[in-house]
Amino acid sequence: AQSVTQLGSHVSVSEGALVLLRCNYSSSVPPYLFWYVQYPNQGLQLLLKYTTGATLVKGINGFEAEFKKSETSFHLTKPSAHMSDAAEYFCAVSAVTGGGNKLTFGTGTQLKVEL
Amino acid sequence: EAGVTQSPTHLIKTRGQQATLRCSPISGHTSVYWYQQALGLGLQFLLWYDEGEERNRGNFPPRFSGRQFPNYSSELNVNALELEDSALYLCASSLGGGPNTGELFFGEGSRLTVL
């Protein structure tokens, strides 16, 4: 079984400040890890993913995340927040084994960016 | 290239009625996934179809059902609607079956309101 825990359902940062959204996962098999973003009234868009290889993953819009197996974490960061980053962010995990791309999502973190 | 398309965008029903939601995957994708996004509950996996077959099912009652057509489009049916079925229903597609490769491509969702 797999699960994802996102710490903090709401995070507020100032424009230009560091963004840190936390994600911890549980998986009995090597995981694939994802961050998706959802803007209001839209579907989900992939920000970045970790499958294998380099543990520091760079995504779109200046976001990056680091896979830390020892901490079972996959936190999302961005050095400098922009107003356009305000959205809901979802961390997700899927199993390396088995078929399909069924993802298990966290409950999401709403990011607010203030002037 | 067209993305995942869903219809209708909004649907209002009353308790006990049936709702039908439709999804067209990205061209070339054979897998379709359905997720329910209810307020405060994150994304809950509903169903996965691949090559016309139901491959996996989430923890939802049997009144949630669906099918996948030969052209890989899919439909989600919800019978005997209850108030708590009010949610955004997201469809996603990916390349077919086999080992997990990662990314899901999401549509913008169908918002179902049950009165």
Give the chain A residue whose CA is nearest to the CA of B33: A102
* Cβ neighbours of residue B61 closer than 8 Å, sequence gap 6 or more: none
Q: Which residues of A touch B99 (CB under 8 A)?
A: 96-99
Q: Is the pLDDT of residue B9 over 80?
A: yes
Give me Rg for the CA atoms of chain B: 13
Rounded-to-integer distance, Cα A71 and Cα A49, Å: 18
Q: Which residue has the tokens 């923890």?
A: B59
Q: Which alpha helices (H) appear in chain B, and where do they start and end?
A: none
Q: Which residue has the tokens 């993913």?
A: A49
Q: Count the helix, strand and coil residues of chain B and give each as a percent rounded to the nearest 5.
A: 5, 55, 45
pLDDT of residue B2: 81
Beta B87-94 vs B110-114: how paired, if at all? Answer: antiparallel
Nearest CB to A101; choose among B35, B41, B102: B102
pLDDT in tens, B31-86: 999 999 998 788 999 999 988 999 889 899 999 999 999 999 999 999 999 999 99
Inter-residue contact B35 to B54 (CB < 8 Å): no
| Amino acid (1-letter code) at residue A82 | H
Nearest CB to B108; choose among A43, A46, A100: A43
pLDDT of residue B99: 47
Q: Which residues of B touch A98 (CB under 8 A)?
A: 99-100
Per-10-residue mean pLDDT of chain A, 115 residues long, equals 90 97 89 92 90 91 95 97 96 71 87 96
Rounded-to-integer distance, Cα A39 and Cα A12, Å: 16
pLDDT in tens, A75-92: 999 999 999 999 999 999
Give me Rg for the CA atoms of chain A: 14
Rounded-to-integer distance, Cα B2 and Cα A101, Å: 20
Rounded-to-integer distance, Cα A19 and Cα A61, Å: 12
pLDDT in tens, B18-32: 999 999 999 999 999
Nearest CB to A44; choose among B90, B94, B97: B90
Closest CA to A31 of A107, A98, A90, A109: A98
pLDDT of residue A100: 60
